[in-house]
């Protein structure tokens, strides 16, 4: 049985708060210490996490690693889902890891599932496999495949344009796809953005914004962002989201954790600004530390370590439970509305044990969250009043894909 959200608040602000690739890079990042510019950096604008925040973040990461299986022992595996007939759900990154499990279970629960993927052929092969596994008395799975590549913001805009043209409701958007290129040098997309920031934050933010008309048609609807405990060791400078200023030496774990914190901050401002009557609820879900495809990018010694400690790390099916809960449980909209009515500074966050969790201290900083919101809109090519216009049903010009969302 999953947690009861309706009469609960998040834990204290100091509590720690993965996504398709899981949190496989935690070990590599722990050795480095916080980037310079936090506590002790002198007066002026904060430039990094202080040692206390950094330490609390790492306590959360380590605690999750050792105790997640115990904390989530009350959950069924797989998680029991309600019937989802007539519910339209888009899942990004649905061909591997957590995303594959999310997609499979939603489809088997009767949802109209849209697999938004880079490799449509792989998705179609999976559909055929799942269909073959159905019993003779089972209804055919209601799944379709649409191409989406988060490395290209043009691809994101085209995807949203295609879906919105149907004038059909969208009930749930699950932003699951993400990357963590552990140990790799800094890379930039053709759009000019650091890869982690674009794939893990900018592209999902653009997708959610452009699909807002369809989400309003499907109201009450949900945007589920698969996040990570690693956001607790991230820090986002809105003037240096590409990590190119030279203030901090680039490390892959820094790019990843910053992108996940940026996602929480943007989601929180979205949650605060969208009116309750629109009926669109935003949730960040943490799957825990999960053994997925990210392990292929780890150093060989860490890959070997992964194989030696299966007890502590979730498999993808276990890691899918918090996202499935956030996407399907009837308590979630009420919980989001409660947080909104209490003017809670962070959007709803669901932990790997399907209970409420709180985001990091830095995620509660509304001033920097507002700066991240404004900078993100500029980076994804939307005007500052895009949200308000979309809610009112007015067309919004996006710099990417040459489309209008309406």
Cα–Cα nearest to 271, from 341, 190, 365: 341
Looking only at the bridges linking them, the beta strands covering 348-350 and 396-397 are unpaired
> Annotated catalytic, 256?
yes
8 A C-beta contact, residue 77 and residue 317: yes
The residue count for the chain: 406
Distance CA 20, CA 320 (A): 9
The HSE-up count of residue 164 (CA atoms within 13 Å, CB side) is 24
Distance CA 20, CA 285 (A): 11
8 A C-beta contact, residue 154 and residue 380: no
8 A C-beta contact, residue 99 and residue 177: yes
Query: H helices then E strands: how many in the chain?
Result: 15, 9
Tokens of 100: 């594959």
| Number of Cβ within a 10 Å radius of residue 246 | 8
Rounded to 5°, angle at Cα 379 from 170 and 179: 70
Which one from 193, 250, 256, 311 is the annotated catalytic residue?
256
| Number of Cβ within a 10 Å radius of residue 129 | 10
| Displacement of CA 108 from its chain's centroid (Å) | 23
Distance CA 196, CA 190 (A): 13
Helix (H) or strand (E) holding 88: strand 88-92
Distance CA 396, CA 213 (A): 11
Cα–Cα nearest to 289, from 229, 354, 233: 229
The residues annotated with a catalytic role in the active site are 256
């Amino acid at each position: 049985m999953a947690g009861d959200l309706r009469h609960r608040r998040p834990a204290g602000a100091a509590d720690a708060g993965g996504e398709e690739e899981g949190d496989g890079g935690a070990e590599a990042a722990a050795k480095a210490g916080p980037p310079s510019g936090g506590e002790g950096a002198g007066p002026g604008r904060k430039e990094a996490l202080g040692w206390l925040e950094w330490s609390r973040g790492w306590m959360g990461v380590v605690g999750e690693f050792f105790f997640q299986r115990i904390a989530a022992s009350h959950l069924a595996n797989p998680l029991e889902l309600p019937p989802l007939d007539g519910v339209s759900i888009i899942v990004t990154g649905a061909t591997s890891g957590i995303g594959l499990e999310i997609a499979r279970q939603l489809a088997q629960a009767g949802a109209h599932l849209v697999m938004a993927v880079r490799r449509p052929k792989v998705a179609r092969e999976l559909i055929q496999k799942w269909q073959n596994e159905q019993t003779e008395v089972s209804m055919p799975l209601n799944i379709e495949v649409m191409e989406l590549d988060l490395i290209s913001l043009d691809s994101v805009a085209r995807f949203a344009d295609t879906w919105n043209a149907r004038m059909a409701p969208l009930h749930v958007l699950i932003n699951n796809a993400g990357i963590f290129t552990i140990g790799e040098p800094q890379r930039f997309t053709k759009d000019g953005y650091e890869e982690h920031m674009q794939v893990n934050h900018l592209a999902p933010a653009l997708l959610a914004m452009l699909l807002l008309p369809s989400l309003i048609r499907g109201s009450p609807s949900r945007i589920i962002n698969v996040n990570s405990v690693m956001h607790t060791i991230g820090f986002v400078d809105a003037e240096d989201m590409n990590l190119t200023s030279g203030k901090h030496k680039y490390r892959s774990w820094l790019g990843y954790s910053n992108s996940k914190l940026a996602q929480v901050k943007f989601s929180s401002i979205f949650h605060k600004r969208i009116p309750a009557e629109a009926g669109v609820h935003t949730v960040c879900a943490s799957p825990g530390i999960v053994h997925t495809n990210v392990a292929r990018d780890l150093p060989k010694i860490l890959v070997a370590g992964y194989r030696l400690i299966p007890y502590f790390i979730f498999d993808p099916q276990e890691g899918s439970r918090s996202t499935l809960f956030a996407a399907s449980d009837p308590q979630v909209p009420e919980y989001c509305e409660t947080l909104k009515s209490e003017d809670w500074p962070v959007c709803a966050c669901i932990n790997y044990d399907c209970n409420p969790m709180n985001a990091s201290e830095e995620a509660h900083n509304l001033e920097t969250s507002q700066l991240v919101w404004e900078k993100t809109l500029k980076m994804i090519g939307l005007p500052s009043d895009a949200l308000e216009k979309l809610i009112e049903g007015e067309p919004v010009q996006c710099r990417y894909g040459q489309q209008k969302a309406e």
